[in-house]
Amino acid sequence: MRQTRTAAGACSLLLAAACAFAGPATAQVPPRIPAGGYVALGDSYSSGVGAGDYLASGKECKRSSRAYPVLWAEAHAPATFSFAACNGAGTEEVLTEQLGHLSPRTSLVTLTVGGHDSGFAGTMAMCAIGGPDRCHTAVSRAVDTMDGSLTDRLDRLYTAIRDRAPAARVVVLGYPRLYHLRGSCALGLQDGERAALNDAVDHLNGVIAGRAAAHGFTFADVTAAFAGHEICSSRPWLHSVDILAITESYHPTAPGQSLGYLPALTRVSG
């Protein structure tokens, strides 16, 4: 998922903007975050792609007024709020294009990132058009990337965040599983491929959670919140494939942001 730059290319096949992605939940609620600046970094899951009501500034980033960072800021009134998250951002884009919003006065940083780096857009496209064998091969390749280059990229990014915001609490949010198995979808992928994709999301979140913990950051799991609200469920909080709005495919709806992501952040931010 690279701004519309790379995501659009991979998605144009038929599917795709699966640009990002649950792992172990934080067990205890930490102390309340002190007053100060809040900076929201990350990819399309943080910018609010799929939630609608996009802000006029930075249109290519598809930042939504219904995204969880905006909702959290409205509820907690931080001293300052910088909404830097952008559609298509991978770790490199966050590192080079978003960290300028951080400072020693920043008290809270949130982000989702890692799906684009793992090649999920291409994986989803392959699963859509390549058949079960090619789908499973693509998923395996994405998992290898998670265990390889993604860990180094996350370490580099997390180190830079801490250097620029030494006093901030950093909350790294995970990604929801995409599919409700044995659900209502009559067409599309079979449950074998859907299960493989869900397992890959779990693996991705495990990698992200591990690297976050290594840097002293908090990982916020959204898997439980989205359980029963995946694609193919009776009340999905994720968009299925829509060729008329391909960028929003596989992204949270407004309820996914307000009822899935926002509570996960609120639980760990006090």
Q: What is the mean pLDDT of each run of 10 residues along the chain (270 residues)?
A: 38 38 41 73 97 91 97 96 97 98 97 94 85 93 96 98 97 97 85 94 98 98 97 95 85 98 92
Q: Record the pTM.
A: 0.86
Q: What whole-number distance in Å separates Cα of residue 229 and Cα of residue 259?
A: 10
What's the start-to-end Cα distance of the chain, in Å? 31
For the beta sheet containing 169-173, the strands, ordered from the edge strand earlier in sequence to the opposite edge, are 80-83, 37-40, 106-111, 169-173, 218-220
β-pair partners for 64? 54
Task: Report the candidate in 19, 171, 170, 42 with the shortest Cα–Cα distance to residue 95.
Answer: 42
- Which residues constitute the domain of residue 54? 3-269
Domains identified in the chain, total number: 1
Q: What whole-number distance in Å separates Cα of residue 198 and Cα of residue 177?
A: 5
User: Which pLDDT score is estimated for 35?
Assistant: 60
Q: What whole-number distance in Å separates Cα of residue 181 and Cα of residue 215?
A: 34
Do residues 14 and 23 touch, judged by C-beta distance below 8 A? no
| Catalytic residue positions, numbered | 44, 251
User: Which pLDDT score is estimated for 151?
Assistant: 97
Task: Report the candidate in 151, 37, 150 with the shortest Cα–Cα distance to residue 100.
Answer: 37
Element (H, E) at 136: helix 131-145
User: Which pLDDT score is estimated for 5?
Assistant: 39
Helices (H), 165-261: 191-214, 223-226, 254-255
User: Which are the contacts of 89, defined by CB distance < 8 A and separation ≥ 6?
Assistant: 1, 2, 3, 42, 43, 44, 47, 97, 98, 113, 116
> Any idea what the CATH number is for the domain that residue 142 is in?
3.40.50.1110
Q: What whole-number distance in Å separates Cα of residue 14 and Cα of residue 246?
A: 8
Coil vs helix vs strand at 128: helix
Do residues 44 and 58 touch, judged by C-beta distance below 8 A? no
